[in-house]
Amino acid sequence: MATATTIAELAQHVGQTVTLRGWLYNSRSSGKLLFLIVRDGTGLCQCVLEKTDSSADQFAAAKRLGQESSLEVDGVVRADQRSVAGHELAVGNIRIVQDVAGYPITPKAHGTDFLMKHRHLWFRSQRQWAILRIRHTVIDGIRRYFNDRGFILIDTPIFAPAAGEGSQTLFAVDYFGEPVYLAQTGQLYLEATMMAHRKVYCFGPTFRAEKSKTRRHLTEFWMVEPEIAYADIDDVCALAEDFVCELVQRVLRERRAELELLGRDLSKLEAIQKPFHRLTYSQAADILRSDRVRQFLEADLEHAKARVAELTKTIAEKEAERAAPGVKEWKADKLAQEIMDAREELADTEELVHNLPRHMELAAGFQWGGDLGGSDETIIARLHDRPVFVTHYPRGCKAFYMKRNAADPRVVNNLDLLAPEGYGEIIGGSQREDDLNVLLERMKEDGLNEADYDWYLDLRRYGTVPHGGFGLGVERTVAWICGLKHIRETIPYARMMGRIYP
Ligand code: 4AD
Ligand code: MG
């Protein structure tokens, strides 16, 4: 009898007859040999079926099997360094569970829009498989980090009667005739529980009606928010820094194979070490207006223009090669995929060429008082090889609950953490305003209705202490760690403006 096992465990079964249960990822034949690439959720394995007199029928049936047919394969495990998982299976017997024809996602070329519409199937592709495993490990790492350090998990509500992060991005829902909002943050609720438990965190889905279709914005994303008592902005920065280093190291330890599969430059992740750089907002503003940044962006523009020319040429060459007479089908498919990839990169690069002059203008004309835009963050982040904290923003561009700075009341004790390689903000946080009167003043400035926040103000009436915390967005973190251009592949079912299917 063959032992049922998984591809991940093949190493323990070398020389034995085992059964793998999975799906057909791909197959090719060469004369008397049929190579079935089987995936079973834990990995890929090449299963080799030899055509003999006794296996002729099975060979013919297996050869006709369509991609993603479900099947069980019995065979002997052979160690093989050249094969995908270091092992292959010498097939004895195959049982077909379902013979599939016409699986929509073929090894042929597909555009992103098509793939996003087939998200329910796209999960099975190698890259998507790797990304969601890394996401799993990031989430697991988040939970372990806080649980191991005595933080108490608090589940904050998703129905919220008032804004937590400004009224611009609220999703209203009808709550028995009352308008309430989907949570933009759990922070205010978390602050109350921090007063009871000292160190707490919440972790859940977060909703923002972001009307921009950027690479960084989802309307539904996951955020983890720790909150600590008796802490100032330096304590919050120290926590954020330690936390991010631990997360990256965990992924490097536990998901190296998946990162490699994605083609991630591991040295960039290995460089994520303490201490992170720290800039104040005012310093960041000076940098944005500097000659150094102007020259840097001019070089970017030249580089992008050269890349456009290069890609245009490559695409034309590949088109010609594909259209040439006598091209083999596999070669034509390969070229089609390469052309599609080059076209996507070309579109991105053309967009960059179009946007860069505007980004240069924004940076050069940056006015003290305004929030850093996405392109400004990208510039600052790209100048550093480690994450960089930008602190002490003008209070007018930040949320009402942030602590006014004692030395310079124009700014607040807040922090944004920008990930390197141009990824931008992955963490936003602050020390909180613990003075009742200053908080009330600040709420008036923002036109907030005091009555809506009366319970929150109680926290400043009864035993107020210096405290603070931050929020880290899971998807932006996963995009950065995986080295993805767009946030949409980091969450199983992306919700963005104009995208809600499947
Ligand atoms: O900077 P934000 O808005 O901070 C807060 O919500 C605070 N209440 C957190 C706190 O201090 N407890 O959001 C925090 C992080 C961002 O840095 C980003 O990583 C992520 O949440 N984020 C988004 N991710 C994807 N799509 C969006 N639309 C996001 N908006 C914020
Ligand atoms: Mg923010």
In short, whether 470's Cβ falls inside 6 Å of ligand 1 is yes
Q: Which ligand is nearest to the CA of 223?
A: 1
Q: What is the pLDDT along the chain (502 residues), one digit of tens a residue?
A: 689 999 999 999 999 999 999 999 999 998 899 999 999 999 999 999 999 998 899 999 999 999 999 999 999 999 988 776 789 999 999 999 999 999 999 877 788 899 999 999 999 999 999 999 999 999 999 999 999 999 999 999 999 998 888 888 999 999 999 999 999 999 999 999 999 999 999 999 999 998 877 889 999 999 999 999 999 999 999 999 999 999 999 999 999 999 999 999 999 999 999 999 999 999 999 999 999 999 999 999 999 999 999 999 999 999 999 999 999 988 888 898 889 889 989 999 999 999 999 999 999 999 999 999 999 999 999 899 899 999 999 999 999 999 999 999 999 999 999 999 989 999 999 999 999 999 999 999 999 999 999 999 999 999 999 999 999 999 999 999 999 999 999 999 999 998 999 9
Q: How far is the CA of 223 from the centre of ligand 1 (A)?
A: 7
Residue that has been written with the tokens 């995908």 in this structure: 84
Pairing outcome for strands 159-160 and 44-50: unpaired
Q: How far is the CA of 26 from the centre of ligand 1 (A)?
A: 40
Of 187, 212, 223, 499, best ligand 1 pocket probe by most atoms within 8 Å of the beta carbon: 223
Closest-CA residue, ligand 1 atom 2, reads 428
Pairing outcome for strands 3-5 and 152-153: unpaired
Closest Cα partner for 277 from 131, 147, 382?
Answer: 382
Q: Which residues pair with 220 in a beta bridge?
A: 207
Q: How far is the CA of 436 from the centre of ligand 1 (A)?
A: 25
In ligand 1, which atom is closest to the CA atom of 471? Answer: 9
Q: How far is C-alpha 66 from the geometric centre of its chain's CA atoms? A: 32
Q: In this structure, are residues 495 and 182 in contact, taking their beta carbons and an 8 Å threshold?
A: no
In short, whether 221's Cβ falls inside 6 Å of ligand 1 is yes
Q: Is 77 strand, coil or helix? A: strand
In short, whether 496's Cβ falls inside 6 Å of ligand 1 is no
Residue 263 CB coordination number (10 Å): 9
Q: Is 259 strand, coil or helix? A: helix
Q: How far is the CA of 100 from the centre of ligand 1 (A)?
A: 43
Q: Which ligand is nearest to the CA of 215?
A: 1
Of 432, 476, 486, 488, best ligand 1 pocket probe by most atoms within 8 Å of the beta carbon: 476
